[in-house]
Amino acid sequence: MTVKPWHGGELRRDAETHGWSILAAGRAARPHVPARTGCPLCPGPGEDTPAETWRLAGDDGWRVRAVHNRYALSDRHEVVIESPRHDWDPATAAVSEVADVLTAWQVRHRALRADAAQVAVFRNYGTAAGISLSHPHSQVAGLPVLSPATRRGLEIAREHHATTGRCLANDELKAELTTGTRIVYADEHVIAYTPFAPTADCELRLTLREPRADFAAAPRHSVEELARCLRAVLAALRAEFDDPAYNLVVHTAPTGFEDAPFLGWGLQLVPRLAIAAGLELATGIPVVTVAPERSAARLRNRLAAAAV
C-alpha cells in the first residue's frame, strides 16, 4: 500500500492501476450551494479569505489575487480570485482582464511547482462542473506525483521526438491546420480546435501556433492573444449551448520538463453537456454524441455571427 503524505493532505495509490486518489477530508466542509449573499471573495466588509499569496495591484486595491484555499487538498492549493467584481465573466470581460487571470495562473504555477511533481491549474464554471462559490475564481494545486495520464503523455511525446526529431504537439497542430475541419478559431498566434478523438461533446483545445513545453513561460503578448481566443470561444459556447457549465484546465510540462523539446502546452476546455455514465466507468473510454467536425462547424458559425 503506497501512501504519499503531502503538506497536510494525503495521496494513496491503487495497487492494480497505479492511479492516485487524493484524500481531502477538509473539503467535505465546503459549501455545495453557491452563496447568494455575503460573498467571502468580494472586497468589502464581508470579505473573508485565508492568507493572500499574491496580488496584481489595481488603481483601487487589486485586480487579481491568489489566496490559500480554505477547503484545501493540501497546503499547496490556492484560489485565484479573478476579479473584485462578483459578476465578472471571462466570456464578456476585457481581453486584458482575461490575460491578467492567465498571468496569475502562470505566476502561481511557477511558485507551486518548486516542490511539486506537477501543478494542476483549473477553472470550474457552473454547478454541473463542481463550483461551490459563484464569485469568479480558479484554482492552482501542486501535487507530489505524476498522474498515470501525465506519465503516459510524457512517454508518448518523448517516443515521438526520439523517432522523428519533432514535437508531437506541434505536429498535431500542423495536421489540424492542414485538415481544417476541426479548427474553430485561428489567427496569426493562436489556434482553437476540437480534438480528433474528444473526451466530451464539444471539447476544445487552445494553444499557440508553436507552443513550447512550459505554459508559465509564455510571454505576455502571447497570453493576451490566448485571452482573446479564450473569450471568443467561451462566448460562442454560451451562445450555442445556453450558458453551459465547463471545466477549463491547463496542460503543461511537469516539474523538470519545462525545457523539454518534445512537449507543447495547451488549454483544454470541456463543456459539461452530458453526464459520464457506466461505459466510461467500466472502460475509461468516453462517449461523444456529436462528431468534433460538426461541433467545430457550429462554433465557427457562432464566431462568424458574433464578428458581424
> Which one of 77, 108, 109, 135 is in contact with Zn ion (CB under 5 A)?
135
Instruction: Assess contact for 260 and 253: CB atoms under 8 A.
Output: yes
Candidates 84-92, 99-107, 245-253, 289-297; binding stretch for Zn ion (CB under 5 A): 84-92
Residue 63 or 298 having the CB closest to Zn ion: 63
- Contact between 86 and Zn ion per CB under 5 A: yes
Which residues lie below 8 Å from residue 101, measured CB to CB, with a gap of 6+? 64, 80, 82, 90, 138, 227
Handedness of CA 88, 91, 94, 95 (dihedral sign): positive
What Cα–Cα distance (Å) separates residue 263 from each residue in 57, 230, 238?
A: 33, 21, 31
Cα-to-chain-centroid distance, residue 5: 25
Give the residue carrying C-alpha cell 484546465: 249
DSSP 177: H
Min. distance of Cβ 78 from Zn ion in angstroms? 17
Instruction: Assess contact for 191 and 209: CB atoms under 8 A.
Output: yes
Hey, which residues between 229 and 268 contact Zn ion (CB under 5 A)? Answer: none
Candidates 24-32, 76-84, 127-135, 239-247; binding stretch for Zn ion (CB under 5 A): 127-135
Min. distance of Cβ 90 from Zn ion in angstroms? 15
Size of the site for Zn ion (CB under 5 A): 5
Candidates 82-90, 91-99, 241-249, 269-277; binding stretch for Zn ion (CB under 5 A): 82-90
Min. distance of Cβ 39 from Zn ion in angstroms? 3
- Contact between 85 and Zn ion per CB under 5 A: no
Site string for Zn ion, 23-52 (x = CB under 5 A): ----------------x-xx----------
Residue 139 or 150 having the CB closest to Zn ion: 139
Nearest one of 210, 238, 231 to 222, comparing CA atoms: 210
Which residue's CB comes closest to Zn ion? Answer: 39
DSSP states of 68-107 as a string? E-TT-SSTTEEEEE--S-TT--TTTS-HHHHHHHHHHHHH
Residue 86 or 152 having the CB closest to Zn ion: 86
Candidates 17-25, 128-136, 166-174, 223-231; binding stretch for Zn ion (CB under 5 A): 128-136
Residue 42 or 146 having the CB closest to Zn ion: 42
Q: How far apart are CA 258 and CA 165, in angstroms?
A: 18
Min. distance of Cβ 223 from Zn ion in angstroms? 25
Would you tell me which residues interact with Zn ion (CB under 5 A)?
Answer: 39, 41-42, 86, 135
